[in-house]
Chains A and B, each alone.
Chain A
Amino acid sequence: NAGVMQNPRHLVRRRGQEARLRCSPMKGHSHVYWYRQLPEEGLKFMVYLQKENIIDESGMPKERFSAEFPKEGPSILRIQQVVRGDSAAYFCASSPSPTGSSYEQYFGPGTRLTVT
């Protein structure tokens, strides 16, 4: 059973370009979460999605960032017109439909974005 998959693992973009990060959840998981970890800082929640729905985007910057989880295919985190401050590790996590106390989330290996 493959774990959470993210690609690319490393992404270099120049200022002003677009970055697209992809995440495929674990088999059987229908909930996807994106987190950002800035250098020397903790993980910060960005957005929570189910298939075709954004459930909670309270952690997303108001501009340039968007996320989707289409009916088919991976979840995509999109950053338009990247700036140096967007350089970070972006982690995706997935969970099954939460029932009872099953709220555990499992993380992918992350995408390290470097903006030059």
Chain B
Amino acid sequence: RKEVEQDPGPFNVPEGATVAFNCTYSNSASQSFFWYRQDCRKEPKLLMSVYSSGNEDGRFTAQLNRASQYISLLIRDSKLSDSATYLCVVLVLTGGGNKLTFGTGTQLKVEL
């Protein structure tokens, strides 16, 4: 079983749609959670951290359910510029430091 699992997509949605991505993680010792965005052949960019209480940043809402080991990202009123691959990322603190584990990403294509 992969440490971080995501539906690879692609999700093809019309502009203005609401789209939700899900992610599950296997390590119950995971400490912190993030969503990153990666455009084709570019570096991942931090979209938002994910907190147990849920958090919102403009059109983006992230939720964490520690009991179910489940993370979600909701994008409202999607724009063409939201087209990218969304990476679910989990951090585990070890004796040696902190290490990010990435899901393989969910591809989003927003169309006219």
Whether A65 is near chain B, meaning CB under 8 Å from some CB there, is: no
Task: Please determine whether B96 and A55 come into contact, CB atoms closer than 8 angstroms.
Answer: yes
Given contacts A41-B104, A42-B102, A104-B49, contact A48 B42 (CB under 8 A): no
Given contacts A91-B43, A104-B46, A108-B43, contact A45 B100 (CB under 8 A): yes
Q: How far is the CB of A102 from chain B (nearest CB, A)?
A: 9
Tell me the nearest residue of chain B to A89, going by C-beta. B41
**A interface, over-half SS:** strand
Q: Which of B41, B42, B96, B105 contacts A56 (CB 8 A)?
A: B96
Q: How far is the CB of B19 from chain A (nearest CB, A)?
A: 20
What class of interface size applies to chain A in its complex with B?
20 to 34
Q: How far is the CB of B62 from chain A (nearest CB, A)?
A: 14
Task: Please determine whether B100 and A105 come into contact, CB atoms closer than 8 angstroms.
Answer: yes
Given contacts A101-B32, A104-B49, A110-B43, contact A48 B97 (CB under 8 A): yes
Whether A16 is near chain B, meaning CB under 8 Å from some CB there, is: no
Task: Please determine whether B91 and A103 come into contact, CB atoms closer than 8 angstroms.
Answer: yes
Whether A109 is near chain B, meaning CB under 8 Å from some CB there, is: yes
User: In whole angstroms, what is the CA distance A14 to B88 when docked?
Assistant: 35
Whether A61 is near chain B, meaning CB under 8 Å from some CB there, is: no
User: In whole angstroms, what is the CA distance A64 to B43 when docked?
Assistant: 25
> Which of A41, A56, A59, A109 lies at the interface centre, i.e. has the most chain B CB atoms within 10 A of its CB?
A56
Q: Which of B32, B44, B97 contacts A55 (CB 8 A)?
A: B97
Whether B87 is near chain A, meaning CB under 8 Å from some CB there, is: yes
Q: List 26 A-B contacts (CB under 8 A).
A: A31-B97, A35-B102, A43-B44, A45-B100, A45-B101, A48-B97, A48-B99, A56-B94, A56-B97, A58-B96, A58-B99, A59-B99, A91-B43, A91-B44, A101-B32, A103-B31, A103-B32, A103-B98, A104-B34, A104-B46, A105-B46, A106-B46, A107-B44, A108-B43, A109-B42, A112-B41
